[in-house]
Amino acid sequence: MFFPNRKNNQGVIKFPKFEFTIGNLLFTFSIIILVITIALPMIMIIYNTFFYKLTFNWRMFGNVIFQKENIGAMVNTIKVSLFVTVFGTIIGLFFAWLVGRSDIPLKGIMKNLFTIPYMFPPFIGAMAWQLLLLPRSGYINKFFVSMFGHPIFNINSLAGIVFVEICYYFPFVFIQVSSALERMDPTLEESARIAGAKQMTVIRKITLPLVVPAIASGAMLILISSLSHFGVPAILGFSNNIFTLPTKIYEVIYKSAGSFEGIRQGTALSVLLVIVVVAALALQRRVLKFGHYEIIKGKSMRPMSIKLRGMKAPLLIICILFLFLVVVLPLFIIFGVGCLKAWGLPLVLKNMTLNSFKYVLFASQMARDSIRNSFILSISAATINMLVGTMVAYVIVKVKIKGKGLLELLAVLPYSVPGIVLAIGVILMWSGAFKINLYNTIWIILFAYIGRYMTFSMKSAAASLGQVHNSLEEASRSCGATHLESLIDITLPLIRPGMVASFFLVFLPAMRELTTSLLLYGPFTRTMGVAIYTIHEEGNTVQATALASVAITIIIMGNLILRYITRERRRN
């Protein structure tokens, strides 16, 4: 075809070595950004663990990991995450089945409520449970002391950590299994019934085996998140000297007051933690390898819901109690205590005041700064990640180029790097090693956020790009548009809703971020998570809960916006 206003319609002379194309350009940009935000910090950790003054030296690594208390922390980490994984999986599976396949009432509402813990910052949940179950001063324990003379449960224990983490991690399995059940072709179950199998047999022999991949991937998400989780053990463990690897790393660095020796110890522990996580990931690979079934097919008939009959009322009560325990009670206690005149007073109206809210929103410079910082950081990180994530995903999904594998590896790496480890890497990288010192500035936190959430935004953009068929861009080019024009006029508008969603997928977790910010903050760069944590550590419980209430309100509003956007998208 002839396009008269095009100058280069005679064809392009190809240079043998290098071609200047959009694909190459995007690839180069992507690699540079990912190397700076992800690869270099990781390399810095490994270098500092094993090299001292430019010579290989593994002795420090050996010394650190064989210290008794560090071994104890590792054992705790593994213990906690195994318990959390097992119980979280059982609970998530049970409720997913109940909502997906039984005739329990209020399914739609319950399905939404069960995903709420997913957006609740776990460390705030831990604070709430501490207010309820501190040995002497927790509200529930006070009640039990007055009734029976002894407290019921000490939340500052390994069991307490496990309990709180289960509350916030079970939705991983719930969401995975619910969606698998929803997508599953109901005739797979019906054909078993017509073959003579009873309902229980169908569940055992057909339904469960078919959702095993969903269960496994949910369980692995719990395991990996729990292994690298910092907030809950930090809130509940420090006072009783209970450490997990992430909290131990923090403590080592905190105690050494930022000295290089402390940071080097931290790097050794980080390597250990990464080894544990990578082992879990290897396990995940193996578990997910067998059993990847096609279970979506055919015309969608509503699945037969199993009649619970006599069990309906008791199971409904269990659901409501569970939701009350996991969602309502912690929310209520955070807002309630935030309104108290002083911590320890009974939760009655005459003890209520809005002074703490006034304090954190207006009076306290530090609290106000933290809210502003969190907004600045989350919006910048989300915007940058949305753009970079889309670019990286575009190269991975749509561009044919060598070295894509490396790019993808770098982009999914942050998923397996615990936040605390990434934070150390960022410190090592940006405190002078490359002649740039960003320590104590807001920039260092931004770099950490960008690296930390890169996987989210890349995966989300890749998912929406995968739905844009290649022929759409090809059609545009056959109409005479250049690659860049097709990209701007066709592909980007089509994935815009996906990009907006990916913005929120970074914005929301960044608003509640605690782990990396806690290692990176300086005198004027506290984030909301850091502010809540430090106010709480100083013992100002009421102000801490007031600020936590503000954080929760912002997060819930953000989630509502995200839900509204994705619903609009589904309708189209």
Partner 1 sequence: MDQVVLKNVTKAFVTKAFGSVTAVDKINLNIKEGECFSFLGPSGCGKTTTLRLIAGFEDLTDGEIWIGDKPMSIRNKNYYLPPENRGLGMVFQAFAVWPHLNVFENVAFPLRILKMNKNDILEKTNGALKHTNLFGLGKKYPSELSGGQQQRIALARAIITQPKVLLLDEPLSNLDPKLREIMRFEIKDLQRKFKFTIIYVTHDQTEAMALSDRILVMDMGNIQQIDTPINMYKNPVNKFVYGFLGRSNFVKVEISNGKVYPYGTRGKEIKCNIPADFNEETAFLATRPNAIKFTKDGFKTEIKKRVFLTDSMEYRVDIGGQEIRINTITDPGYKVGDTCEVILNDIKWYSTKGDISEKEREARKVI
Per CB under 8 A, the list member of 3, 51, 293, 362 interacting with partner 1 is 293
Site residues for partner 1, window 303-342 (CB under 8 A)? Answer: 304
> Which listed range, 13-21, 296-304, 320-328, 551-559, lies at the site for partner 1 (CB under 8 A)?
296-304
Per CB under 8 A, the list member of 112, 201, 259, 553 interacting with partner 1 is 201
User: Tokens 């995975």 belong to which residue?
Assistant: 176
What span, in angstroms and rounded, lies between the C-alpha atoms of 542 and 486?
Answer: 55
> To the nearest whole angstrom, how small is the minimum distance from the Cβ of residue 104 to partner 1?
18
Name the residue nearer to partner 1 (CB basis): 214 or 510. Answer: 214
Start-to-end CA distance of the chain, whole Å, equals 35
Per CB under 8 A, the list member of 145, 158, 295, 442 interacting with partner 1 is 295
Beta-bridge mates of residue 56:
51
Name the residue nearer to partner 1 (CB basis): 108 or 405. Answer: 108
> To the nearest whole angstrom, how small is the minimum distance from the Cβ of residue 214 to partner 1?
13
What span, in angstroms and rounded, lies between the C-alpha atoms of 347 and 359?
Answer: 20
Name the residue nearer to partner 1 (CB basis): 301 or 345. Answer: 301
Site residues for partner 1, window 89-108 (CB under 8 A)? Answer: none
> To the nearest whole angstrom, how small is the minimum distance from the Cβ of residue 291 to partner 1?
7
Strands 51-52 and 55-56: antiparallel
Site residues for partner 1, window 171-200 (CB under 8 A)? Answer: 185, 187-188, 190-199
Please, where are the H alpha helices in 184-244? 186-194, 199-202, 208-227, 231-237
Residues 6+ away with beta carbon under 8 Å from 524:
369
> To the nearest whole angstrom, how small is the minimum distance from the Cβ of residue 385 to partner 1?
37
> What DSSP character marks residue 326?
I
Per CB under 8 A, the list member of 44, 180, 181, 206 interacting with partner 1 is 206
Smallest Cα–Cα separation from 220: which of 132, 150, 279?
279
> To the nearest whole angstrom, how small is the minimum distance from the Cβ of residue 304 to partner 1?
6
Indicate the angle between helix axes 528-537 and 541-571, nearest 10 degrees. 150
Residues 6+ away with beta carbon under 8 Å from 561:
504
Residues 6+ away with beta carbon under 8 Å from 157:
236, 240, 242
What span, in angstroms and rounded, lies between the C-alpha atoms of 413 and 562?
Answer: 26
Smallest Cα–Cα separation from 507: which of 357, 382, 375, 368?
382
Name the residue nearer to partner 1 (CB basis): 67 or 102. Answer: 102
Smallest Cα–Cα separation from 494: which of 380, 354, 398, 379?
398
What backbone torsions phi and psi does residue 56 show, to the nearest 5 degrees?
-70, 135
Name the residue nearer to partner 1 (CB basis): 297 or 341. Answer: 297
Name the residue nearer to partner 1 (CB basis): 206 or 277. Answer: 206
Give the Å distances, CA to CA, from 303 to 174, 181, 187: 18, 9, 8
- Asked if 566 is part of the footprint of partner 1 (rule: CB under 8 A), the reply reads no
- Asked if 358 is part of the footprint of partner 1 (rule: CB under 8 A), the reply reads no
Residues 6+ away with beta carbon under 8 Å from 381:
446, 449, 450, 453, 506, 507, 510
Name the residue nearer to partner 1 (CB basis): 43 or 308. Answer: 308
Per CB under 8 A, the list member of 149, 298, 346, 539 interacting with partner 1 is 298
- Asked if 299 is part of the footprint of partner 1 (rule: CB under 8 A), the reply reads yes
Furthest-apart CA atoms within the chain: distance in Å: 92
Name the residue nearer to partner 1 (CB basis): 213 or 529. Answer: 213
Per CB under 8 A, the list member of 150, 289, 294, 539 interacting with partner 1 is 294
Site residues for partner 1, window 209-228 (CB under 8 A)? Answer: 209-210, 212
Name the residue nearer to partner 1 (CB basis): 190 or 369. Answer: 190
Name the residue nearer to partner 1 (CB basis): 203 or 327. Answer: 203
Mind giving me the DSSP string for 453-468?
A: THHHHHHHHHHHHHTS
What span, in angstroms and rounded, lies between the C-alpha atoms of 213 and 371?
Answer: 40
> What DSSP character marks residue 183?
H
Which phi-psi region, left, alpha or beta, contains residue 481 (left: φ > 0; alpha: ψ -120 to 50)?
beta
Positive or negative, the CA dihedral 537, 543, 545, 551 is negative
Give the number of residues in contact with partner 1, rule: CB under 8 A.
28
> To the nearest whole angstrom, how small is the minimum distance from the Cβ of residue 196 to partner 1?
4
Name the residue nearer to partner 1 (CB basis): 147 or 200. Answer: 200
Per CB under 8 A, the list member of 62, 105, 258, 291 interacting with partner 1 is 291
Q: Report the 10 Å Cβ neighbour count for 51.
A: 13
> Which listed range, 202-210, 355-363, 371-379, 454-462, lies at the site for partner 1 (CB under 8 A)?
202-210
> To the nearest whole angstrom, how small is the minimum distance from the Cβ of residue 197 to partner 1?
5
Name the residue nearer to partner 1 (CB basis): 215 or 511. Answer: 215
Binding stretches for partner 1 (CB under 8 A): 185, 187-188, 190-199, 201, 205-206, 209-210, 212, 291, 293-295, 297-299, 301, 304
